[in-house]
Structure 1
């Protein structure tokens, strides 16, 4: 034990090769029963021939980076390779990578190639175990480039050229950053982090990122106030619309507070909620009014949109938006900021932003889910769980549950208000990503949506079917509770693709809507699908 020559080091048991092989396309593995009614077309359609001139289609035929970035000559190719290596030097330098340098270097040094992560990856499994989607694949490519060209280690088997860089750039957008791989890794190697850092290299050094994340994402948010393009005037109009919506649905006249100074809470929703699911922020207005919460929204630029797409691809953009959120809160002199039902906003502002919010900028920040749990369990609301007497299952947003560690509050709420609640398997910190993580849910250009719904979301759809397997063909309504705006966006696309609402009466929505639906003094259901289903049918008869 004392002989230093007998000590086994982690690097001594790692392999120097493997996993990098030529790949051919094959069809996906079939879904589990019931799948007889589902659309089972092949994995992909052929990309348009003209796309290959300017976009990278050589990886797997799909295009995530929807800007023309293929070099058109040898000089451009050489410049691309040089810029990539310059970016990699900065990425692995303490003077340039101020967010995740240490875990990145450890991940590049100590992977044991055990492949425990492979079976944990929903994309790898759902693709029929395609080698390029194995979590260690892109990591191993970057590791070899780093070892040969930056660390200058001898005997490394890789030749860097423009084609490697082109494919690696696209491959960085075949991972949802769900970090399920790191959870099963015996060494804690974070392949999701390596993917994130790759995206950062391409964005910051090469100016390459999907338009939905950069041009129509963080840049649009900083310019107009929201990644949706909603400016402050449009936001105030939306608040008025929600007040009308609340009155129409509940008969309650509620004045939603905006720009109220000195409030206990500044609530910031993902702005996508206002445009696509206004019943969710409206539900919080109802709940907070009933519970006597001292809160406010903000109409300041960026202050009404919790979205922070920088968390997926660029730390500088993340910092700009996070600092803007704090400035808005300080101007209103609120006690804390509460982030609504949005996974990536929770990750960006509550977890990652800890690295930049210091001193006077260190304002208390938390997710809305523990607060909602406290309200429900304190009996401040008069609730009747039988009003939610239909099967409900829970999707765990990766960035809320696995990253931020918020696991039980949403379950405590559902056990109180949903008598037919059942878990997905696996669930909690072992959940599968919805398939829309890391920005995928908003990336709809070219043919990328097809890859999302057929590959990235396949395991989640499998879980949903299995959670409702005892009632899937019964005709009764079923509800997938997804307390995350981006997850709801992905579920919308997946359920539509497989026609699941029509075939199986499966619906989706947030958590706050279920709470309001259980309120005793509502004469009609708050959830629209219940209103339609209940016409002429006694509610309890669904389960007789």
Structure 2
């Protein structure tokens, strides 16, 4: 079915404006209650306190058994909230939080900028200022105790149902802070959502098991959020070296525990397990460029993951300090963080707030390190090996939240002749949909929500970037230099059958660099359907 949009439809002038095929326009999930989610079982409804009607439960908050437990839940929440506005207890973020508490213009600029609100079909509970306004009213009435609070907001007795719904609402946000970027008065709704999460973790002991039990706690116990101990990591990296030496025709040896090196490289350890080509690519590039570098086999020293940034300051600090200690133990000049957005932010701008100054070691995103290698001509490159369409996904944590925009583009302009930007790129980029920890959460319908709601705008961006070359005849590469973003983009591609129908490949920036290194065997990047290494 084709329709002609005429100028007279929107103005007084004549003529055709555009022709489009209605079948090419995907329907939005206008009713989130109709998502293909498994309904809550009767047992879940009995055990858990909150169902926000989208079929998702992230926190699994236990349902209070009696009035005493209901009041205890409210009291603990208020206790935690008071601590958020105490310099002694929240010296990391209290100033920024207070700046978002005074007022909100209710202009809904934040809603218009939010991919979750848009892709839910404009559902009210996904408005960034919806949960913030509830939080703000509690603050003025119970924490600041303003005489005018009752006149300003009316009498709003706080009950346990409001508390648990607010907790779940804080996990209907990717913390991408696109909303904060467009707010005309500087309200940071993403920060508010994160601080609500912090109350539930640090005061109520409630957090997603993937971020806490299987995340930060496992990382501190074993050395990695993957559960890999130092011995296992060294064995795995040694195997990767051997395997990719044969694949590339270049001998690879990853140095461990080399004291006095210029650089300590720290990966998201998920790369070692899921994307070994990324780990091998870093070793190939650093060795070929003649860098003085090493990895650490100290517990936590090889895994840059720090899921504490999504929900808990104490966990964030504990892990960041261990990363610094690993670097100090080796006496390196700086830490370079591999392709992981949240790990980069956690170990740089967040660590600046939670790690004492005298324990800090200089840190740098790998984008800058790689840019310098390319610009200095340290590698022999043949960009014609990358003569296929390439687009770039900007990880929120590095680009919008840290302002690192150009280094990765400077590289792509050199090595990718057909590089093209996604619409809404750079600091205006949309989250992949897996941000703030969702990329690793799959239970209770979260995976369905990730691909149908939170990842839907990224699917649109990818489709728009390659709209002139969709189809299996043209190979296309999505450069996503972040481990969690890659996992989310993989799920988006699989959900929409883009792998098999469109010859897509996804991967990092370093794989694309290695693919055009003249000393490396051709074909480092593999597309779906091609024979594995």
TM-score by shorter chain over 0.5: yes
Q: Show CA shifts across 1:446-498 (max 9, x none).
A: 21111111100110011000110001125322111000001011111111111
Alignment match, 2:393: 395
Q: How far apart are the structure 2 equivalents of 1:341 and 1:350?
A: 14
Q: How far apart are the structure 2 equivalents of 1:349 and 1:385?
A: 33
Q: Equivalent of 2:132, from 136, 139, 142?
A: 139
Alignment match, 1:480: 478
Q: Show CA shifts across 1:33-67 (max 9, x none).
A: 3659x9x9942432333221222442124334354
Provide the TM-score with structure 2 as the length reference: 0.91
- Give ranges in structure 1 of 5+ residues lacking alignment: 1-29, 536-544
Q: 1:345 to 1:85 in 2, by over 3 A?
A: same
Q: How far apart are the structure 2 equivalents of 1:160 and 1:515?
A: 55
Matched, 1:501 2:524: no
Q: Show CA shifts across 1:258-312 (max 9, x none).
A: 0110000000000011001111111010001100000000111000000000000
Alignment match, 2:15: none
SS class of match (1:266)? strand
Q: 1:113 to 1:273 in 2, by over 3 A?
A: same
Alignment match, 2:217: 219
Q: Show CA shifts across 1:384-422 (max 9, x none).
A: 111011111000000110111110011111111111111
Q: Equivalent of 1:310, from 308, 311, 318?
A: 308
**In 2, are the aligned partners of 1:268 and 1:339 still within 8 Å (CA)?**
yes
Q: How far apart are the structure 2 equivalents of 1:58 and 1:364?
A: 45
Q: 1:368 to 1:240 in 2, by over 3 A?
A: same
Q: 1:98 to 1:62 in 2, by over 3 A?
A: farther
For the aligned residue pairs, the C-alpha RMSD in angstroms reads 2.1
Cα offset, 1:136, TM superposition: 0.2
User: Matches of residues 450-529 of structure 1 in structure 2 within 5 Å?
Assistant: 450-529=448-527
Q: Equivalent of 1:96, from 70, 77, 89?
A: 89
Q: Show CA shifts across 1:203-244 (max 9, x none).
A: 000000000010101000000000010111110111111111
Alignment match, 1:179: 177
Q: How many residues align?
A: 504
Q: How far apart are the structure 2 equivalents of 1:370 and 1:282?
A: 19
**In 2, are the aligned partners of 1:126 and 1:459 still within 8 Å (CA)?**
yes
SS class of match (1:104)? helix
Q: Show CA shifts across 1:492-530 (max 9, x none).
A: 111111111012222211000000000112333111228
Q: How far apart are the structure 1 equivalents of 2:174 and 2:76?
A: 26
Q: How far apart are the structure 1 equivalents of 2:514 and 2:426?
A: 24
Farther off after superposition, 358-367 or 264-273: 358-367
**In 2, are the aligned partners of 1:59 and 1:167 still within 8 Å (CA)?**
yes
**In 2, are the aligned partners of 1:64 and 1:210 still within 8 Å (CA)?**
no
User: Matches of residues 72-111 of structure 1 in structure 2 within 5 Å?
Assistant: 72-111=65-104
Alignment match, 1:340: 338
Alignment match, 2:168: 170
SS class of match (1:338)? strand
Q: How far apart are the structure 2 equivalents of 1:32 and 1:414?
A: 34
Q: How far apart are the structure 2 equivalents of 1:32 and 1:94?
A: 55
SS class of match (1:119)? helix
Alignment match, 2:150: 154
Q: Any runs of at least 4 consecutive aligned residues in structure 1 with deviations exceeding 6 A, and if so which? A: none
Q: How far apart are the structure 1 equivalents of 2:501 and 2:26?
A: 11
Q: How far apart are the structure 1 equivalents of 2:126 and 2:506?
A: 28
Q: Show CA shifts across 1:62-120 (max 9, x none).
A: 33435452212211111101111111111112221121001111101132211111110
Q: 1:96 to 1:33 in 2, by over 3 A?
A: same
Cα offset, 1:160, TM superposition: 1.2
Q: Show CA shifts across 1:189-208 (max 9, x none).
A: 10000001000000000000
Q: How far apart are the structure 1 equivalents of 2:22 and 2:443?
A: 26
Alignment match, 1:428: 426
Q: 1:473 to 1:257 in 2, by over 3 A?
A: same
Farther off after superposition, 96-105 or 257-266: 96-105
Alignment match, 1:296: 294
User: Matches of residues 46-61 of structure 1 in structure 2 within 5 Å?
Assistant: 46-61=39-54
Cα offset, 1:172, TM superposition: 0.6
Q: How far apart are the structure 2 equivalents of 1:44 and 1:474?
A: 28
Q: How far apart are the structure 1 equivalents of 2:295 and 2:22?
A: 43
**In 2, are the aligned partners of 1:341 and 1:510 still within 8 Å (CA)?**
yes
Q: Show CA shifts across 1:158-210 (max 9, x none).
A: 33111111111111100000010111111111000000100000000000000
Matched, 1:206 2:204: yes
User: Matches of residues 430-445 of structure 1 in structure 2 within 5 Å?
Assistant: 430-445=428-443
**In 1, are the aligned partners of 2:472 and 2:500 still within 8 Å (CA)?**
no
SS class of match (1:403)? coil
Q: How far apart are the structure 1 equivalents of 2:500 and 2:157?
A: 51
Alignment match, 2:35: 43
Provide the TM-score with structure 1 as the length reference: 0.89
**In 2, are the aligned partners of 1:249 and 1:524 still within 8 Å (CA)?**
no
Alignment match, 2:109: 116
Q: How far apart are the structure 2 equivalents of 1:93 and 1:309?
A: 24
Alignment match, 1:284: 282
Q: How far apart are the structure 1 equivalents of 2:371 and 2:243?
A: 24
